Amino acid sequence: MVRFSSKTEPKLTEPNIDDDDMQRAKRTELPPAQENIDKLEKVVNEGNYYGAQQMYKSISARYVSAQRYSEAKDILHSGACIQLVNGQVICGAELALLFVETLGKGKIPYDDETLDLLKRIYEKFPQVPLPPHLWDVDDMNQLSEELRNAKTRVEGCSSFLKAAIKWSAEFGANSNGSPELHIMLAEYIYTESPEVDMNRVTYHFVRGNDPNKFASTLVNFLGKCYPGEDDLAIARAVLRYLCLGNLKDANVFMEEIKKQAEAAEVQFPQTDMTQFASFLLQTMERNAPPLFTMLRSSFKQTIDREPSFNEMLDKIAEKFYGVQRRDPMGMIGDMLKYAESVEMLETS
């Protein structure tokens, strides 16, 4: 009779490897980032921009997957800069966006060091002055190409900086995002756009921290804008500053634009609109809601030149005097205003 042992055979078990162990293994498999940076720079310098682009994206993704975010951002930063230096705006802008995305994934805080990295990318975006009078160019094919290239540059830089502004608001800057990044975006839109949208430029300048630079930009605009745009641009700037509750910079801006216009021998528009803006600043220095209401009534025809000004003045009354805006559309009106604010942020 064959007898079987009552003892059971020992079961073979796999080693207990947890997720942390796997992540550590992944981290050790990757070489130092500088090795890849040097290798990829050679590919770019050989003129293989597309091949390098795919390698920058795939290699940096491995470092992100291994949670080596600092090295991933170093690779992407190097790639964005070298592609832009070589005139590859689309490639450079794509890597710049991935750089910002990596900052978010790695929860890297907003500080002077990271701001400097973003500024270095921004400074690599080409700045190509367009002909002062576009429609005087004889070669229409050349004009079309220059306009197309300008649009590509502005869209690429704007997408990068808007993403950076959104990241900065989430990871350490104020709720509006980094003032320095807003200034960069305002300057690039103004200098590189074939047709300048001063509303977009103003949106970002007032969220910056340099009213003197804004004044200088607007003085330049006064020297080349169409009649009737000059005083509107000045008043819009004042109103937008006040909508943010920033009376200090609104006053600095108004004083500075007058000084700089005189120094540059550019005529400062003396109109009802600029007079209204000046009186408004004086009114905001006093806690006098009735005076504010009287001012709006006295300059109603002037204010009505720009449909958005009445809405801005309602915001200013709420910000400074606590006057609640009455919305006849109720909740639907609130939803529409929210949608409009999101659209402005996405298009600015």
Copy the structure tokens of residue 294. Answer: 């009287």
The mean pLDDT of the chain is 87
Copy the structure tokens of residue 296. Answer: 């709006």
What pTM value is reported for the model? 0.85
Q: What is the distance between the alpha carbons of residues 48 and 33, in angstroms, rounded to a whole number?
A: 20
* CA gyration radius, the chain: 28
Give Cα separations from 54 to 67, 71, 76, 155, 178 (angstroms). Answer: 20, 17, 12, 21, 31
Comparison of pLDDT for 204 and 8, the residue scoring more: 204
- Is 169 exposed, middle or buried, given 0-12, 13-18 or 19+ CB atoms closer than 10 A? middle
pLDDT of residue 19: 53
Exposure b/e, 11-46, CB count within 10 A at least 16 = b: eeeeeeeeeeeeeeeeeeebeebeebbeebeebbee
Q: What angle do the packed helices 89-105 and 69-85 form, to 10 degrees?
A: 160
- pLDDT for 274 beyond 80: yes
pLDDT of residue 199: 94
Q: What is the distance between the alpha carbons of residues 82 and 88, in angstroms, rounded to a whole number?
A: 9
pLDDT of residue 287: 86
pLDDT band at 326 (very low <50, low <70, confident <90, very high): low
Q: What is the distance between the alpha carbons of residues 182 and 193, in angstroms, rounded to a whole number?
A: 16
CB atoms within 10 A of CB 197: 13
Phi, psi of 12 (to 5 degrees): -80, 130
List CB contacts of 181: < 8 A, sequence separation 6 or more: 115, 118, 161, 164, 165, 168
CA 280, chain centre distance (Å): 29
Q: What is the distance between the alpha carbons of residues 101 and 131, in angstroms, rounded to a whole number?
A: 35
Task: Say what percent of the chain tops pLDDT 90.
Answer: 73
- List, for residues 127-164, the tens digit of each pLDDT value: 987 665 555 556 677 778 888 889 999 999 999 999 99
47: left (phi over 0), alpha (psi -120 to 50) or beta: left
Which range, of 1-5, 132-136, 219-223, averages the lowest pLDDT?
1-5
Copy the structure tokens of residue 236. Answer: 């819009």
| Interval 100-126 mean pLDDT | 97
Q: What is the distance between the alpha carbons of residues 48 and 63, in angstroms, rounded to a whole number?
A: 23
pLDDT band at 223 (very low <50, low <70, confident <90, very high): confident
Summary count for the chain: helices (H), strands (E): 17, 0
- pLDDT for 28 beyond 60: no
3-state helix, strand, coil in the chain (%, to 5): 70, 0, 30
Q: What is the distance between the alpha carbons of residues 292 and 279, in angstroms, rounded to a whole number?
A: 9
